Each structure stands twice: as structure tokens, then as C-alpha cells.
Amino acid sequence: MLVGIIGGTGFFEPAADAEGRRETVQTPHGPVQVQVGKLGEADIAFLCRHGPAADIPPHAINYQANIEALALLGCRNVIATNAVGSLLEDLPPGSLATPAQFIDFTRSRPHTLFDRSCDKIVHVDMTEPYCPRLRELLVSEAGRLGMPCRDGLTYVCTEGPRFETPAEIRMFAALGGHLVGMTGVPEVVFACEAGLCYASVCVVTNFAAGISRQRLTVDEVHQVMDKMRPRLWELLAATVNAIAADPAWQE
Ligand code: HPA
């Protein structure tokens, strides 16, 4: 069974040791380049969220096509990586977290996969937008590898591409947000609409604006991601191999 991996910032290359072939998948919302291959014993379909050339900004990503491509390839489980700012003083740069909830502050993105006239109106349930079973597996594999991954947090998605003001971050914190990023939504929504079991591993690259006294730069985001990438691949490999090895995931 193919497991989908959506690589975010800093994951512009497929896994160094993942063998595979590049494919262009034609979807109702456009073509997507995917690498289909092996990560250890597991079959994976990997795509770069920001495109193969890493040049698509968060508000211009074709989230619909990306999710449709993985669904069309037959993926039922999808793990995404996301760089985030932390609103929590005890969750410093270099930490991992897997959100359980999101708050949507995007404003110019498609809202649904069902945006064409279709024979039914769809209202997808969002009680548990991130698959609890996949989150649990990620947390347990991360623990086994000695890299704690905090579960149960709330991800706030902004439109970007600018960073937030400290006032916005104070508002997000007051609303119950713990992590802030620009790419988690609508990807998770479309994954739910496509019936996929989807979870995100968030890498904290910085304290959010105003929590950190320093100005935020994209360089610091990339520096932390570059440092974390090898270990994150270990976690992804362990998780997809646990899925591949367990008959309960094949049902
Ligand atoms: N804000 C929004 N997106 C981000 C951040 C941030 O602080 N860090 C990494 N992605």
C-alpha cells in the first residue's frame, strides 16, 4: 500500500535513500509531479508542496491537485511536514509537534475539492481533522527514536507570505492556538474531503513574532529545517515502515 508524504519547507528533495521514479499525475485540478518509490521496505509517493523547484509560495500552492494526486495514486494514509512558529515558550525551535486541531485564518484559497457542479453537496466532518491513529503512530515512533513529538496542539494557518505581527500572535494565543504556519490549511481539509487518513509533523523553526524578541527571517526557518531534516526523514521512514509492516493498516 502506498503511503503519501507531502514534504514542506526544507523537503524539496525526495529522501536521499528513497529509490523511485518521477511521475506526473494528471488530476482534475492540474498536473502534479510525484516521486513514487521505496523508503526502506515501504512504498511511498512523495511530493514537494512548494513544487519541484521549491518556488511556489504558500498562497499559490495547488493544494487541491496535490491531494487529488495522492488519492489517485491509491494513497490512503498521508503524512505531511510543516515548518511552524511556536506560540509556546516550552516548545522551542527544533521541537516536533503533531496538531490535533486547526484554526483557519487563510483568505484567498480554494475551500473545497467539490468546487465544480456535482450531484451532491458535501459538508465534511471536521471533528478530528488530523487522523488520530496516524498521530498516535507518529508520536510513538518519534518517542522510540528519541525525538519527542508533542500531540494535541492547535495549528493556526495564516495566509502569508508575510510573517505575523506580535498583536496577531497574541490574538491567536488567546484563541487557543499553539503553532502558526502558512500551509496546513486547506491541505488538511482536502485530505478529509478525499477520505484520507492525514497527519502533519510540524517542525518548530522559530518562536512566533513577539514571543521571540528578534525579527523573524526565512533564513532561520531554513537553517532549523536543514538541521532537522535527517532526523525527520528517520521519523518518516520509521512511520511508513510501521504502516507497511502492520496488516491492520492494510484494511
Ligand atoms: N509564522 C508563519 N509561518 C511559519 C513560521 C511563523 O512564525 N515559522 C515557519 N513557518
Q: Which domains does the chain have, with CATH numbers?
A: 3-250 (3.40.50.1580)
Q: How many other CB atoms are found less than 10 A from the CB of residue 61?
A: 19
* Torsion over CA: 122, 125, 126, 130 (sign): negative
pLDDT score at 122: 86
* Torsion over CA: 173, 178, 184, 185 (sign): negative
The separation between CA 65 and the C-alpha centre of its own chain, rounded to angstroms, equals 15
Mean pLDDT, rounded, for 125-133:
98
C-alpha closest to that of 179 among 152, 210, 148, 154? 154
Best probe residue, ligand 1, of 172, 211, 216, 225 (max atoms within 8 Å of C-beta): 216
- Cell of residue 39, nine digits: 523508503
If you take atom 5 of ligand 1, which residue's CA is the nearest one?
85
pLDDT band (50, 70, 90) for residue 18: low
Instruction: Indicate if ligand 1 lies below 6 Å from the C-beta of 85.
Output: yes
pLDDT score at 2: 94
C-alpha closest to that of 98 among 50, 131, 64, 66? 131
Instruction: Indicate if ligand 1 lies below 6 Å from the C-beta of 208.
Output: yes
Using CA atoms, how far apart are residues 134 and 179, in angstroms rounded to an integer?
19
Query: Model-level pTM greater than 0.85?
Result: yes
Residue 148 backbone dihedrals phi, psi, to 5 degrees:
-55, 140
Using CA atoms, how far apart are residues 84 and 146, in angstroms rounded to an integer?
21
Residue carrying the nine cell digits 512523495: 46
SS3 content of the chain, % helix, strand, coil (to 5): 30, 30, 40
pLDDT at 251 over 80: no
Mean pLDDT, rounded, for 240-245:
96
Q: How many other CB atoms are found less than 10 A from the CB of residue 19?
A: 10
Mean pLDDT, rounded, for 193-209:
97
The closest-lying atom of ligand 1 relative to the alpha carbon of residue 158 is: 2
